Amino acid sequence: MKEKILVEVSARHIHLSAADLAVLFGEGHELTVKKELSQPGQYACEEKVTLRGPKGEMKLSVLGPTRKETQVELSLTDARTIGVKAAIRESGDIDGTAGITLVGPCGEVTLERVLSLLSVISI
């Protein structure tokens, strides 16, 4: 019997901390589930955030639930498009990464370290 291996593509997205969610979308705002993801407990949200870099802006989908720290995951092309240097890291490893300004409907947050390129998920 052949074993099946699930291979998925992860598009640009952002994971927000509860504190940054409150600034961007307003105190007490809760993420709105749009679609459950294959990772148990993870979901795509209706909310979107604008990334503002030195050369441009782009909108990102928010993934829930909130995390301990905000993290942006982009492709190398996305990072170049908005003018930031992103490190190639595993998801969640943001130490020593570039920062960015996040813009939401209720405010903006400038973070010193959040950017990593989309990583390869090991099996």
Q: Evaluate whether residue 5 is within a structural domain.
A: no
Amino acid identity of residue 46, one-letter, is E
3-state secondary structure of 77: helix
Beta-sheet pairing, 33-36 with 13-17 = unpaired
Q: What is the pTM of this model?
A: 0.80
Binning pLDDT at 50, 70 and 90, where does residue 14 land?
Answer: very high
Q: Evaluate whether residue 48 is within a structural domain.
A: yes
Q: Evaluate whether residue 64 is within a structural domain.
A: yes
Q: Evaluate whether residue 54 is within a structural domain.
A: yes
Provide, for the chain, the percentages of residues in helix, strand and coil under a 3-state DSSP scheme, each rounded to the nearest 5.
Answer: 10, 40, 50
- The radius of gyration of the chain's CA atoms, rounded to the nearest angstrom, is 15
Q: Evaluate whether residue 123 is within a structural domain.
A: no
How many structural domains compose the chain? 1
Six token digits for residue 56: 């441009």
Q: Evaluate whether residue 3 is within a structural domain.
A: no
How confident is the model at residue 120, as a pLDDT? Answer: 40
Binning pLDDT at 50, 70 and 90, where does residue 121 land?
Answer: very low
Question: Residue 16 above 90 pLDDT?
Answer: yes
Q: What does the pLDDT look like over 59-71, one tens digit per residue?
A: 999 999 999 888 8
Structural domain of 26: 13-117
Beta-sheet pairing, 100-103 with 43-53 = antiparallel
How confident is the model at residue 91, as a pLDDT? Answer: 61
Question: Residue 89 above 70 pLDDT?
Answer: no
